[in-house]
Structure 1
Amino acid sequence: MFVKVCGLSTPESVREAVKAGADAVGFVLTASPRVVSPGQVSSLLAEVPAGVSPIGVFRHEPVADAVAIARAAGLEWIQLHGQRTREDVATVHDAGMKLIRAVTMGAAPEEFEDWGEDLLLIDAAVPGSGEAWDYSSMAGLPVLQGRHWLLAGGLDPKNVGQATAVAHAWGVDVSSGVEASRGVKDLARIRAFVHAAKSDATV
C-alpha cells in the first residue's frame, strides 16, 4: 500500500512520516491553513531521504505557475487539484516533472480516464474538509482497473484499512486525519495512520 502524508510543515512531522514508512510526503504550496513557502520546502527536503517522494500540492494555480513554484522549491513531483486539462498533464511532463492529478468523487466520467498522469488521486467532494464519503463507490469501476490511484478524503487511522479494502485502492493520501487541530500535525496519528494503512493493505 502506497501511503502519502500531506500538509507537512515542520521537520518533526516530516521525520515522523518518513520513519513510519510513508512513501511520499506532501507540501501545500497554495492558499491553505497548511501552506508553506518554497523556501520552507527547500529546508524540509533535508528530512526526506532517497526513496520517499516529496510532492508540491497546488489547487487553482495555472500549471505554468505551479511548475515554476515547484521548481523553485526543489521538487520533481506536482499534485494538481481543480479543473485541469490533458494539456496541463503534458505541460508538467514537458517540464521534466511527475504529476498526481486530483479529481473529486463526483467529477465527470471523463475526468477519471487516464490522461497520462503518473498517479490519479480521488478525493472527497470538498477536498481538505476531512469528511468521509462512500469509498465503496470506487470499487470495480472499469476506468480504474489496472491503474495506480490514491484514495483521499476523510481517512484516519481508524478507517483507512476498511476504506482501502472496499475501494480497492492502490494507495492513500491523508492530511486532516492526522492532525491535532487544523493545520497542526499530530505525530502519533501520523505514525498510527501509516502503520494501519500498511498493515491492513489488501491490494
Structure 2
Amino acid sequence: MKVKICGITDVETGIEAVRYGADAIGFVFAESKRRVTIEKAQEIIGYLPAEVHKVGVFVNESREEIEKIASIVGLTHIQLHGDETGRFSESLSLPVIKSISFQGNEGLAALADYPNEFILLDSPKGKYRGGNGTVFNWNEVDPNLINNHKIILAGGLHANNVEEAINIIRPYMVDVSSGVETDGKKDLDKIKTFIEKAKSTPVGR
C-alpha cells in the first residue's frame, strides 16, 4: 500500500516521513493552516529522493500560477481540490490528482470519465477544501464507479482506522495529514506508526 503524507512544512519531517516509507509528500499552496511557501517547499524537496512523488495541492488556482510553482519547487504531481474541470486538468503539464469530496455516488459518477489517472476520495468540505480530519462512510462508495482510476483515499485517516479503510475501499494509496499530528503539528511517531500500519495491510483488487 502506498502512503502520502500531506501538509509537510519543514525539512526534518519530510526527510523522516520518506525514511519511514512514505511514497509521496504533499505541499499545500492553498489556504490552509498547513500552507507552505514556495521557498520552503523548494528547500524540502531538495532533500527528497527522486522516486518520491512531490505533490502540490491547489484550489481554483490559475494554470499559470500552478505551472510556475511546480517548475520552481520541483513538483511531480498536481492535486486539484477546487472546481477545476477535466479540460483544465488536461491543460497542465504534470500528472493530476483530482480531489472529490464524497457526498454520495452521484457526484462520484460524474467523475467517472475525468481524464486523469488519479482520483482523491476525500470527506465532505469543511472550513478548508481538504485536511479537515473527518471520516466519511466508506461502505457507501460504489466500487464500480472508481474502477477506471487509481484511488487515493483521504479524510480522517489515522493508525487505528487505516486498515479498515484499506479493506473496504482497496485504494491505490492512502493520504493522511491531521491524523499524524499532535496539537496541530506533524508527529514523527504517528507518521511512522501510520506508515507501518498501512503498508502491513494486505490489499488486492
Using the size of structure 2 for normalisation, the TM-score is 0.90
Query: What secondary structure sits across from 2:171 in the alignment?
Result: coil
Name the residue aligned to 1:98.
Answer: 95
In 2 relative to 1, CA 109–148 (structure 1 residues): closer, same or farther, beyond 3 Å? closer
User: Are residues 1:157 and 2:156 paired?
Assistant: no
> Structure 2 matches for 1:172-191, cutoff 5 A?
172-182=174-184, 184-191=185-192
**How many positions carry a matched residue from both structures?**
198
Percent identity at matched positions? 33
What SS class does the counterpart of residue 15 from structure 2 fall into? helix
2:124 paired residue number = 125
Asked if 2 retains the 8 angstrom alpha-carbon contact of 1:105 and 1:122, the reply is yes
Aligned match of 1:142: 144
The answer for unaligned runs of 5 or more in structure 1 is none
Aligned residues: CA RMSD: 1.5
Q: 1:90 to 1:202 in 2, by over 3 A?
A: same
- The answer to whether structure 1 residue 15 and structure 2 residue 12 are counterparts is no
Q: How does 1:65-104 map to 2 (within 5 A)?
A: 65-92=65-92, 95=93, 97-104=94-101
Partner in structure 2 of residue 115 of structure 1: 114
1:102 partner SS: strand
Instruction: Return the TM-score normalized by structure 1.
Output: 0.91
Cα distance per residue 1:62-84 (max 9 Å; x no partner): 33322222222221311010111
The residue that corresponds to 2:5 in the other structure is: 5
Which residue type is aligned with residue 152 of structure 1?
A
Is the 8 Å Cα contact of residues 7 and 28 (structure 2) preserved in structure 1?
Answer: yes
Q: For residues 90-124 of structure 1, what are the alpha-carbon distances to aligned partners after superposition, in whole Å with 9 as ceiling and x for unaligned?
A: 111xx2x1111111101624443132213110100
Question: In structure 2, the residue corresponding to 1:47 is in which secondary structure?
Answer: coil
- The structural deviation recorded for 1:179 is 0.6
Matches within 5 A, 1:31-46: 31-46=31-46
Asked if 2 retains the 8 angstrom alpha-carbon contact of 1:124 and 1:152, the reply is: yes
TM superposition shift of 1:146: 5.1
Q: Secondary structure at the match of 2:44?
A: helix
Gaps of 5+ in 2: none
